[in-house]
Chain A
Amino acid sequence: MGSSKINWYKYTSPASFYPLAGKMIPWFAVLTAALLATGLYIGFFVAPTDFQQGDAYRIIYIHVPASWMAMFLYAMMAIYAGLGLAFNARLWSMMASAIAPTGALFAFISLWTGALWGKPMWGTWWVWDARLTSTLILLFLYIGFLSLQGVIDDKRRADRAGAVLALVGLVNVPIIYFSVQWWNTLHQGATLRLGRSASIAPVMLSALLIMIAACWVYAITVTLMRLRCIILEREQHAPWVAQLLGRTI
């Protein structure tokens, strides 16, 4: 270890991460398109109709990935915000801000598709049950984080305030995840669970896993795109931005 002279902190500076992110975006974008096309194809054309739910079950291919990403992105946002706060590293705080809108989008998609799935299966769009309510709280936490950052002019102060909110709200993530085990809810149990075989046919499972991967790389793609915008906005007076844009424009 001692002999290594790699500067691990290099990519925590916006100036060096900006071009790196730019190189990564096209690859992730292509991967997103490929996975999305494959996942949707298997989900709609290869996977059979469910014997209980008919074709309505196909909503699972967007509902479960969106719900997972909403929870996972919240955890990532809180971790990056916390690291930015602890180490006073602005790139990590910017990363948290870049994740938030996409996380909020997935939380909304989760609730929206859940309502459209709940209506034909449960007979109701919405019910104040543990999982649905905690997911709604997740959406409000994202909105709270975004509006808190929006109303504070000093960006570093906004980062710190957002980090505190994000970290406090982190307690909600395990509540969502375990809600179907801890409480009697209308929402069905987890389809995929660590350490257990999935309660779903293999072809349906593969479509679901590919859709989860698609949403994952989609989130990486748009987060990097937004991160580059945030870097440009916040560092617009830095010499390296002028140098960089002098070359590219």
Chain B
Amino acid sequence: MNWTQFFHMGGYAFFVWGSFGVALSLMAAEVVLLRRRRKRLLLLQARQAPKMSSLKEYETTT
């Protein structure tokens, strides 16, 4: 199979690439969104408790 044939998919390019393109993009987007969510959470935590560097410190301050 050469590249032209590969992209042509025997005339079914729209259906095959429409399936794989959307599926793989959504899966990639899910990973990106989760990484962003995690980063945001860690930033929020860092802002909320900037000096609580250890459990002992946390317990003495609360």
A contact set with B: CB distance below 8 Å: 40, 44-45, 49, 54-56, 58-59, 62-63, 66, 101-102, 105, 108-109, 112-113, 116-117, 119-120, 218, 221-222, 225-226, 228-229, 232-233, 236, 239-243, 245-249
Among B14, B27, B38, the one with the most A-chain Cβ atoms within 10 Å of its Cβ is: B27
* Residue in A45, A105, A233, A240 whose beta carbon sits within 8 Å of that of B1 in the complex: A45
Chain B contact residues, CB within 8 Å of chain A: 1, 6, 9-12, 14-16, 18-20, 22-24, 26-27, 30-31, 34-35, 37-38, 41-42, 44-46, 48-49, 52-55, 57-59
Would you call the interface of chain A mostly helix, strand, loop, or mixed? helix
CB <8 Å contact, A222 and B46: no
Least CB distance from B11 to A in Å reads 7
Contact (Cβ within 8 A) B34 A225: yes
Please name all residues of chain A whose beta carbon is closer than 8 Å to the beta carbon of B6 when the two chains form the complex.
44
Q: A62-B19, A116-B19 are in contact. Are A245 and B12 (CB under 8 A)?
A: no
Interfacial chain B residues near A225, Cβ < 8 Å: 31, 34-35, 38
Residues of B within 8 A of A119 (CB): 15
Say yes or no: A249 contacts B9, CB within 8 Å.
Answer: no
Q: A242-B55, A246-B54 are in contact. Are A56 and B15 (CB under 8 A)?
A: yes
Cross-chain pair count, CB within 8 angstroms? 110
**Is the pair A117, B23 in contact by a Cβ cutoff of 8 Å?**
no
B53 and A246 within 8 A (CB)? yes
Q: Which of chain A's residues have a CB closer than 8 A to the CB of B30?
A: 101-102, 105, 222
Task: Contact check, B10 vs A233: say whether CB atoms are below 8 A apart.
Answer: no
Check A56 against B12 for contact (C-beta < 8 Å). Answer: yes
Asked if residues B58 and A59 are in contact (CB atoms below 8 Å), the reply is no
Q: Is A56 a contact partner of B16 (Cβ separation < 8 A)?
A: yes
6 residue pairs bridging A and B, Cβ less than 8 Å apart? A113-B22, A225-B31, A226-B34, A246-B54, A247-B54, A249-B46
Query: Assuming A226-B34, A233-B41, is B22 touching A245 (CB within 8 A)?
Result: no
Residue of A nearest to B29 (CB): A105
A102 CA / B23 CA spacing, docked (Å):
12
A229-B37, A233-B41, A245-B42 are contacts. A117–B15 as well, Cβ < 8 Å? yes
Q: Do A239 and B27 touch (CB < 8 A)?
A: no
Is there an interface contact between A246 and B52, defined as CB atoms closer than 8 Å? Answer: yes
B26 touches which of A58, A109, A116, A120 (Cβ 8 Å): A109
Q: Which residue of A lies closest to B26 (CB)?
A: A105
Contact of B9 among A40, A55, A113, A228 (CB under 8 A): A55
Contact of A218 among B10, B27, B37 (CB under 8 A): B27
Q: Do A59 and B15 touch (CB < 8 A)?
A: yes
- Name the contact of B45 in the complex, choosing from A54, A108, A245 (C-beta under 8 A): A245
**Among the listed A112, A222, A242, which residue makes an inter-chain contact with B34, where contact means beta carbons less than 8 Å apart?**
A222
Given contact pairs A113-B19, A242-B49, A246-B49, A108 touches B10 in the complex (Cβ within 8 A): no
A225 to B41, alpha carbons, bound, how many Å? 13
CA–CA, A242 and B23, complex, Å:
38
